[in-house]
């Protein structure tokens, strides 16, 4: 099984069930999961992270990067992210952190986005392989990536969030604004996305 490091970005134990859902789903699609925390990860040797794991998944967070106090807590973590050379998938707040780490911009969304919503796929690259042109995925965010980082391209969009997904042009780095781990039988696209990352990208 592929060794996947899942990094907790939640700052409160109140959201432990959300994080556990992500961990369980990564395991379900074939990942052998290790867990770290956004405050612990920057204390690790990047070479150890890059040699020990096939891929890294960054969780969502209830923190807001547009809030000064919250942003300050993530500075070391955001500065550490560019040192990771193995494949990375950022989910919701992890997507936003990945964008910030590589020179993008995050802004408050016009209004909170919640529930299963339709997302249009623009680039059927490896992460989105095998999916139709439009999918329904779970949304739960109050911020969004407004400006993509240099060398990143948009791979998904929606009527309420311009940058629903992104990938680096040269490196295996991906971010999705939605929550692929919260799939269900009626809306299974999230499972395929996690499968693609764990089984096809994190090699």
Within 10 Å of residue 184's Cβ, how many Cβ atoms?
Answer: 11
Please state, in angstroms and rounded to a whole number, the distance separating the CA atoms of residues 91 and 59: 5
Q: Is 179 a catalytic residue?
A: yes
Within 10 Å of residue 71's Cβ, how many Cβ atoms?
Answer: 15
Please state, in angstroms and rounded to a whole number, the distance separating the CA atoms of residues 153 and 151: 7
Spatial contact of 95 and 127, defined as CB atoms under 8 Å apart: no
Of 96, 143, 164, 181, catalytic: 181
Of 96, 141, 179, 195, catalytic: 179
Strands (E), the chain: 2-8, 31-37, 55-58, 88-91, 105-121, 134-147, 152-157, 165-168, 173-176
Within 10 Å of residue 67's Cβ, how many Cβ atoms?
Answer: 12
Q: Is 92 a catalytic residue?
A: yes
Spatial contact of 41 and 94, defined as CB atoms under 8 Å apart: no
H helix intervals, the chain? 16-28, 46-52, 68-73, 75-80, 93-101, 189-195
Of 92, 96, 164, 168, catalytic: 92
Q: Is 47 a catalytic residue?
A: no
Q: Which residues are catalytic?
A: 92, 179, 181
């Amino acid at each position: 099984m592929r060794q996947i490091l899942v990094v907790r970005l939640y700052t409160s134990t109140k959201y432990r069930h959300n994080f556990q859902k992500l961990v369980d789903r990564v395991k379900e699609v074939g990942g052998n999961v290790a867990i770290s925390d956004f405050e612990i990860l920057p204390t690790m040797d990047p070479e150890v992270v890059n040699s020990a794991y096939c891929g890294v998944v960054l969780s969502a967070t209830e923190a807001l990067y547009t809030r000064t106090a919250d942003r300050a807590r993530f500075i070391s973590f955001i500065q550490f992210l560019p040192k990771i050379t193995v494949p990375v998938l950022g989910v919701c707040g992890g997507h936003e952190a990945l964008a910030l780490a590589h020179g993008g911009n995050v802004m408050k969304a016009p209004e909170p986005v919640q529930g299963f919503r339709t997302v249009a796929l623009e680039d059927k690259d490896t992460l989105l392989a095998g999916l139709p042109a439009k999918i329904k995925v779970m949304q739960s965010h109050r911020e969004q990536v407004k400006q993509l980082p240099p060398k990143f391209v948009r791979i998904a969009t929606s009527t309420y969030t311009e940058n629903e997904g992104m990938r680096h042009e040269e490196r295996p780095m991906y971010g999705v604004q939605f929550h692929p781990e919260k799939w269900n039988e009626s809306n299974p696209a999230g499972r395929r996305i996690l499968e693609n990352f764990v089984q096809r990208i994190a090699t």
